[in-house]
Amino acid sequence: MFYPFEMEQYLETLLGDRDPLLREMEDQALHETIPVVTPTVGNFLNLLVSMGKSQAILEIGTAIGYSTIWLARAAVITGGHVTTIDMNKDRRARALIYFERAGIQNRVTALEGDARKILPKLESRFDFVFIDAAKGEYLEYLNLIYPLISPGGLLVVDNVLFRGWVVPGSDFAPKYDRMVNGLRQFLEDLCQNPDFTTTVLPFGDGVSVSKRQKNVVRKTLLD
């Protein structure tokens, strides 16, 4: 956390009471050190999908399905559907159980495998894409999902400030050099891409929100 933990706790109190299922998942993730979004980020995702009336939603990084449920509950309101991808077989199996318990299993398609191999095979366009997976792969995801985002669609990415270490001059262990530098490059590429309007929000672990322009000028970020 790159700002005081007390602030995150305060922001959570503003959400009001969450249902027992979400709290159970939060406790499970904390106990097993499973990376899931914070409740404030989950609520933010739900709000964005609802406000944008998103129909086709793509998530990269299911874990145990915590953020997926936030997304899918908004999809119930918009009449949308969530496609989520994760390569961890055990976590995907647990996520499917949570989806049933949440009553949103008909709103979710959970794909198992490496997103870098699955994304090129997807033929659908998505008006909302959320990335919360291996941070060292964000640059790869960015180019792979680019053709899949509908003009006017949203791209939301979690952990883009990664403990504040992405800020130049930050002090961190050398083993994180590659990941931090990759995130810096990811943010630079995203923010400088003329086909997106991007802002970075400093809550959770840093969240970027990008809207794809309706007049698309390039097929890939590498052109």
223 found inside a domain:
no
Residue 221 lies in a domain: no
| 3-state SS, residue 197 | strand
Residue 203 located in a structural domain: yes
Nearest CA to 126 among 145, 157, 105, 149? 149
Q: What is the pTM of this model?
A: 0.91
Q: Measured between alpha carbons, how far is 6 from 197 in angstroms, rounded to an integer?
A: 31
Going from the C-alpha of 156 to that of each of 9, 28, 29, the distances in angstroms are 22, 24, 21
Separation of alpha carbons 37 and 169, rounded Å: 26
pLDDT tens digits, 12-30: 888 888 899 999 999 999 9
The answer to the question of residue 114 being in a domain is yes
Residue 113, in any domain of the structure = yes
Residue 135 belongs to a domain: yes
CA separation (Å) from 157 to 25, 45, 135? 21, 10, 10
Spacing of C-alpha 32 from chain mean position: 20
Domain of 192, CATH number, reads: 3.40.50.150
Residue 219 lies in a domain: no
Which one-letter amino acid corresponds to residue 213? Q
Q: Is residue 27 part of a domain?
A: yes
Expressed as residue numbers, the domain containing 187 is 5-212
pLDDT for 4 equals: 61
Radius of gyration of the chain (CA): 17
Q: How many domains does the chain contain in total?
A: 1
Give the angle 86-90-96 at the CA atoms, nearest 5°.
70
pLDDT in tens, 85-144: 999 999 999 999 999 999 999 999 999 999 999 999 998 999 999 999 999 899 999 999
Secondary structure, 3-state, 204-223: CCCEEEEEECCCCCCCCCCC
